[in-house]
Amino acid sequence: MRALWFAVALLCLALAPKPSVAATAAQMCAQDTDFSAVVTDCTQAINQYAKDEFLYSMRCWGYAGLGNFTAALADCNQAIALNPKDEVAYRIRCNTYNIGLGNHSAALADCDQAIALNPKDDAAYDDRCTSYNGLGNYTAALADCNQAITLNPTNANAYANRCVVHWGLGNYAAGLSDCNQAITLNPKNASAYEDRGSIYEKQGQNAAAIADYQKVLTINPSSQYAQNALKRLGASPTAPGGG
């Protein structure tokens, strides 16, 4: 989860080329190495530049990373109120709804808006794929993940997302192929290992599933998903070499 939120921030930085002192402050807080620092630094910057929407977008991201989704939504709402054409705010709010709150319908509306503002943003299509996945609309999800990959063939998250789509459609071979590609592009993509492990488990390949779930815990030791899966398969819910 932590890696995903940082990936969101890096993508959003690329979408925020405002050459101003406030924008520089926003970029500095987006480059912080932990979410608490993001919130602290963005709050200090907001005290000086209260009308800069990107500062609120970045603090929204920081709050979301800390699990404070109420505060996150308030900041993204403020960013959009200040600039209704702020694609960054729509994308971060979309992720807050998708990942933090499980409100995929609200996320879908925000992703639609982000794509309307920037039809060439591969990450926005990937985010909307997540929304459609959550709603069980795998046909629409597949179309969006395909579009994300067409726009950016190196988008590891889009391959991992499409893996989930194929899994939902029962196309396990295609799902494994996409998860493999996601891992090739980003060997620290914990979600891809989780999803590949789930497909292996579904196919009865328990040894391969256990290996993937254990790999997840080397990347994200707090993954409850991987821990529960390992317990379910009768394996130790720790990373190899862990206690």
Instruction: Please give the pLDDT value at position 28.
Output: 54
Q: Which of 9-18, 51-60, 98-107, 233-242 has the lowest mean pLDDT?
A: 9-18
Domains in the chain, CATH or no CATH each = 1-118 (1.25.40.10)
74, with CB counted inside 10 A (0-12, 13-18, 19+), is middle
Instruction: Please give the pLDDT value at position 8.
Output: 46
Instruction: Please give the pLDDT value at position 29.
Output: 57
The percentage of residues in the chain with a pLDDT greater than 90, rounded to a whole number, is 68
Looking at the predicted structure, is the pLDDT value of residue 159 above 90?
yes
Task: Say if CB 125 and CB 93 are below 8 A apart.
Answer: no
pLDDT in tens, 194-222: 999 999 999 999 999 999 999 999 999 98
Looking at the predicted structure, is the pLDDT value of residue 20 above 70?
no
Average pLDDT value for residue range 127-156: 97
- Distance (Å, whole) CA 153 – CA 134: 23
Looking at the predicted structure, is the pLDDT value of residue 19 above 50?
no
Place 31 in a pLDDT band, splitting at 50, 70 and 90. Answer: low
Structure-model confidence comparison of residues 212 and 52, the more confident one: 212
Instruction: Please give the pLDDT value at position 21.
Output: 45
Place 34 in a pLDDT band, splitting at 50, 70 and 90. Answer: confident
Residues 6 or more apart from 15 whose CB is under 8 A from it? 87, 88, 91, 118, 121
Range ranked top by mean pLDDT from 7-16, 55-64, 223-232? 223-232
Structure-model confidence comparison of residues 98 and 25, the more confident one: 98
Give the tokens for residue 5: 């939120």
Rg of the Cα atoms in the chain: 18
HEC readout, 98-150: HHHHCCHHHHHHHHHHHHHHCCCCHHHHHHHHHHHHHHCCHHHHHHHHHHHHH
Between helices 35-48 and 21-30, what is the axis angle to 10°? 170
Mean per-residue pLDDT over the chain, rounded: 87
